[in-house]
Amino acid sequence: MTMATTKCRIVVDMTKCSGLGLCEAVSPDVFEIGDDGNLVVHTHEVDAERTAELREAAASCPTQAITVEVDAQP
Ligand code: SF4
């Protein structure tokens, strides 16, 4: 049996990401610009409680590379 926890999924279109790091400023534990200047996404799933924060990170992205999806589970 699995627990029904609601998760927020983070999808980054790396073809759109230009490594500006604005997402990192909002959610540094999720997004990090590596030494090579490329974005590293540390996790693709966080608790849904953080949806607003992740949506803010997505909104801060100038190239709209970030999509935030919420799994609505019964
Ligand atoms: S804000 Fe957008 S373009 Fe900048 S690093 Fe994050 S995903 Fe990439």
Encode 24-45 in three state secondary structure.
HHHCCCCEEECCCCCEEECCCE
What is the atom index within ligand 1 of the atom nearest the CA of 18?
Answer: 3
Query: Does the residue 28 lie in any domain?
Result: yes
Residue 45 lies in a domain: yes
Residue 2 confidence (pLDDT):
59
| Mean pLDDT to the nearest integer, 37-65 | 97
If one counts the domains in the chain, the total is 1
β-pair partners for 66: 12
Take atom 1 of ligand 1 and give the residue whose Cα is closest: 61
pLDDT at 4: 63
Residue 20 lies in a domain: yes
Q: With a cut of 60, say whether residue 1 has pLDDT above it.
A: no
**Does ligand 1 lie within 6 Å of residue 9's CB atom?**
no
Residue 22 CA, ligand 1 centroid: distance in Å: 6
In this structure, is residue 1 part of a structural domain? no
* 69, 6 Cβ separation under 8 angstroms: no
Amino acid letter, 3: M
Range(s) of the domain holding residue 19 = 7-70
User: Is residue 40, in this structure, part of any structural domain at all?
Assistant: yes
Report the CATH number at residue 30.
3.30.70.20
* pLDDT tens digits for range 5-34: 799 999 999 999 999 999 999 999 999 999
Which among 35, 40, 47, 45 is positioned nearest to 17, based on CA atoms?
40
For residue 61 and ligand 1, the question of a CB distance below 6 A is answered with yes
